[in-house]
Amino acid sequence: MKLSALFLSLLISLTSLHCSGDPVLTFMAGGAPNEIAYWESVVETFEEETGIAVRLIRQTTDTDQRKQSIILALRGRRSDPDVMLVDVAWIGQLAASGWLMPLNDYNIDTQPFFSPVISLANTYEESLIGLPLYVDGGLLYYRKDLLEKYGYDSPPQTWEQLLEMAKTVQNGEREHNSDFWGYVWQGAQYEGLICNALETFVSAGGGILDSHGNSITSTEENVKALEFMISLIHEHAVSPPNTFTDMKEEEVRMTFQAGNTLFQRNWPYAWGLHNAKDSEIKGKVAIAPLPSFPEHQSAATLGGWHAVVSAYSDMPEEAVQFLQYITSYDVQKDMTLNLGWNPGRSDLYENETIQSSAPHLVELKPVFEGAVPRPVVPYYSEISQILQKQINAALAGQVSAAQALENADKGIVNLITTHENAQ
């Protein structure tokens, strides 16, 4: 009922905008109250500088509801909103549906942005379809004081090194803290599990789809990676037994922040919380790229929000101008300083003011440069559902890694075939 009310409210709002006379540039964005307040100030400044009126369409903080309200407007081919913020995982579906306006004809300079993000996430069928506003990637958080205590002078570069360190520190810390764990990560049956799995797969030389869109889910590399994930819980017991039932971002963060973990996989948002005044681990935390298997590279699942223009915009020129404004150097710098966001522009990571106020961003830049997007295909959400079920079952010990990935591969191949036949 709440979702229906949201759709009705949005429909009334968009209809009133469409029928109010002259077109008005509209911008759809959501988030926490402080984020909405910030967008209001950005809109106000843009209006003052350009003379173009902008109406902010406010969304909730709930990501699923934000996606549904955007799809509702686009599927209805409504002229509003003109500009939207979308999660990177949605871009493939929206672009494949023909709902996003190609930006190739507007002479947009993409050089200041992370090139892998532009090519892998913001390009669809050789068309530029958006720009990254805020980027995210999986990170390894670690207790630098505990590594030093147990004789380690640097974080792990391989998964085997992580396992060895986790065992050593866990055994030592449990002499006075029975709740201590070596490594916590997101293993519950939800999207975060796929982000963790993708990172581990790619760091072993595997992945989900190849460059031609074919499933590579059941490869030996992926099986090896998933077997390692399972072993962390059941064989080596350095990850808690509720990893596959309860562990999502906040459960992982709170366990780490309570001082009960050596290593944690999480997103950059946790940095500020770990270093807040009331944090028990303030000043004891550091970040590093996630480990990899020998002879392979570290991988971080790409996350974040991107600015796109609706294919049905009735003010395309103004919409592109606004998109370029909110992704400009000065505005993204201000966003970073005021909201703590990781800018989508790589050139900002060299800014002295940002480095002074947020020194950890220097360490994030190489992570974002090597970030791996989830498959940019219109049926990604269905792929995710298949993988979530099978990988979680393997983590729970209900099926072997090889069988789980074979089951997932069959489901994904059938999904791809069904989609191709429907075209």
Instruction: Quote the Cα angle for 418-217-141, to 5°.
Output: 125
Strands (E), 47-150: 54-58, 83-87, 123-124, 127-128, 131-137, 139-143
CA torsion sign, 191 to 195 to 201 to 202?
A: positive
pLDDT reported for residue 362: 87
| R_g of the chain, CA atoms, integer Å | 22
Cβ neighbours around 295 below 10 Å, total = 8
Q: 181 in helix, strand or coil?
A: strand
Co-location of 132 and 168 in the same domain: no
Co-location of 132 and 146 in the same domain: no
Co-location of 271 and 385 in the same domain: yes
Co-location of 410 and 382 in the same domain: yes
Co-location of 290 and 316 in the same domain: no
**CA–CA distance from 421 to each of 214, 225, 290, 408 (Å)?**
15, 32, 39, 20
Question: Using CA atoms, how far apart are residues 282 and 254, in angstroms rounded to an integer?
Answer: 13
Candidates 85, 133, 129, 73; CA nearest to 104 is 129
Phi then psi for 191, rounded to 5 degrees?
-60, -35
Co-location of 56 and 45 in the same domain: yes
pLDDT reported for residue 177: 97
Co-location of 181 and 290 in the same domain: yes
Structure tokens at 250: 């906040």
* Domain span holding position 310: 2-136+302-372
Do the beta carbons of residue 315 and residue 184 sit within 8 Å? no
Co-location of 187 and 307 in the same domain: no
Question: Using CA atoms, how far apart are residues 316 and 306, in angstroms rounded to an integer?
Answer: 17
What's the domain count of the chain? 2
Interacting residues of 396 by C-beta distance below 8 A, sequence separation 6+: 244, 245
**CA–CA distance from 196 to each of 206, 208, 301, 380 (Å)?**
13, 12, 8, 16
Co-location of 161 and 271 in the same domain: yes
β partners of residue 86: 306
Co-location of 266 and 148 in the same domain: yes
Q: Residue 272 belongs to a domain with what CATH number?
A: 3.40.190.10
pLDDT reported for residue 21: 62
- For the chain, give the number of residues: 423
Co-location of 153 and 258 in the same domain: yes
Co-location of 206 and 59 in the same domain: no
Quote the pTM value: 0.86
What is the chain's pLDDT, residue by residue, as a tens digit (423 residues)?
554 544 445 554 555 444 456 789 999 999 888 899 999 999 999 999 999 999 999 998 888 899 999 999 999 999 999 999 999 989 988 999 999 999 999 999 999 999 989 998 999 989 999 999 999 999 999 999 999 999 999 999 999 999 999 999 999 999 999 999 999 999 999 999 999 999 999 999 999 999 899 999 999 999 999 999 999 999 999 999 999 999 999 999 999 999 999 999 999 989 989 999 999 999 999 999 999 999 999 999 999 999 999 999 999 999 999 999 999 999 999 999 988 899 999 999 999 999 998 888 888 998 998 899 999 888 999 999 999 999 999 999 999 999 999 999 999 999 999 988 887
